[in-house]
Structures are given as C-alpha cells and as structure tokens.
Amino acid sequence: DTEVTQTPKHLVMGMTNKKSLKCEQHMGHRAMYWYKQKAKKPPELMFVYSYEKLSINESVPSRFSPECPNSSLLNLHLHALQPEDSALYLCASSQIIEELFFGEGSRLTVL
C-alpha cells in the first residue's frame, strides 16, 4: 500500500464552523506533514510530525490545530477560519529525508 488517503476531498465551511481534515497512511512512515497549497503556487509547509510528536510548526495560526493520534493517522482541526484560508490542504508522509508521498488533498472553501 503506497497510498496516503485524505478525507474529505471537498469541504465547505462557514467562518464559525468547526471541522476536521483526516489523513491516513499504512506505509510505516514515521513522519507526517500538512501542507497548504494555493492555486498556481507551491505547497507551503504547515506542520511536521515525527514519531507522533510535533517537530515543526511553521508559525501557523492557532485556528489550525494538528493532531497525530497514532503513527498512521494525522488530523487537522479547523476552527474560526477566514476566507483567505481557502486552499488545497495536502497531507504527506515519508521516512526521514526521503520521498514525500502526498495524498490527493482536501479542497477547502471558507465562506
């Protein structure tokens, strides 16, 4: 299994809503990532979990809250988002300093 699975594929939410994005991998990778990608732009790193511990937070606003319940799962909890947070949110996994395997992404629209 070389897949990173993300749900939901599409999400529309209001600025007062609370929602979560989910990511799952079964490749035994020890690092998992959240990236944000705006149209026609490169992916921007948000968070890195290494061995289930948060190792990098790229100064992401607190309205984004990551969680790593176990080595296969990664969540991104969303609360009080702004319209400018609308983007494609990509989950990825890897062994350390190895190929990033990206999921298909969750396309988020904040109204």
Partner 1 sequence: GENVEQHPSTLSVQEGDSAVIKCTYSDSASNYFPWYKQELGKRPQLIIDIRSNVGEKKDQRIAVTLNKTAKHFSLHITETQPEDSAVYFCAVNAGGTSYGKLTFGQGTILTVHP
CA atoms within 13 A on the CB side of 42: 2
66 vs 103, which CB is nearer to partner 1?
103
Q: How many residues bind partner 1 (CB under 8 A)?
A: 22
In the block, which residue shows the tokens 């948000």?
A: 46
In the block, which residue shows the tokens 């061995």?
A: 51
Q: How far is the CB of 102 from partner 1 (least distance, A)?
A: 4
Q: How far is the CB of 35 from partner 1 (least distance, A)?
A: 9
β-bridge partners, 108: 11, 87
Closest CA to 22 of 87, 103, 81: 103
In the block, which residue shows the tokens 């080595």?
A: 71
Q: How far is the CB of 31 from partner 1 (least distance, A)?
A: 5
Residue 68 as a binder of partner 1 (CB under 8 A): the answer is no
Footprint of partner 1 (CB under 8 A): 31, 33, 40-45, 48, 50, 55-56, 90, 94, 96-97, 99-100, 102-105
